[in-house]
Amino acid sequence: MTQGFYGNSKGKFNGTPSLTLVTTLLTPNLVVGKIGARSLYDSASAASLLQLRLPAGVSPAELPVNSGDQNLLTAVLPLVSGGKFANNLLGTTITLSLNVRFETLNCSTFTLRPRFAPRQFCPARTASEALQTTFWMAVSCPSPSRLPFSAR
């Protein structure tokens, strides 16, 4: 899933509304950052607010210095127009964390469509295999020029 999916109040996955999915994925609480230093935790009760804050925009950044541990419901974080997170790294980290949780819900048996990626490059057949392949690509392909296809 993408930030756009999690931030779309009309989004659905296999008939399940995105807000229902986000609420489920935020149980137990999701923590981004280092507890005791700088962190943001999201709970199921903050699912609708998280949906309003995604997709995030602008540049990636660390959580604000001296912000401590914050709850999404009361957090003071930079926002862009429309009330979205200004920090794209925060949005991406939350999205990745939700996707990892989604994987554990039983997506290891979710079959990917044949057009998901070229089979010769990404032979993944399940979401679990795709996540492993994505990690391999991030580690093994530091330069987009090394990819065997063009991004258009």
The confidence score (pLDDT) of residue 72 equals 96
Residue 18 sits at the vertex; the CA angle it makes with 67 and 70, to the nearest 5 degrees, is 10
Task: Please state, rounded to an integer, the average pLDDT across all residues of the chain.
Answer: 79
The confidence score (pLDDT) of residue 104 equals 73
d(CA 48, CA 34): 24
- For the stretch 70-96, pLDDT in tens is 999 999 999 998 999 999 999 999 999
Is the pLDDT at 125 greater than 70? The verdict is no
The burial of 145, by beta-carbon neighbours within 10 Å (0-12 exposed, 13-18 middle, 19 or more buried), is given as exposed
3-state secondary structure of 55: coil
Confidence of residue 143 (pLDDT cuts 50, 70, 90): very low
Residue (of 121, 98, 116, 111) closest to 31 by Cα position: 98
Domain ranges of the chain: 3-109, 110-152
pTM summary value: 0.70
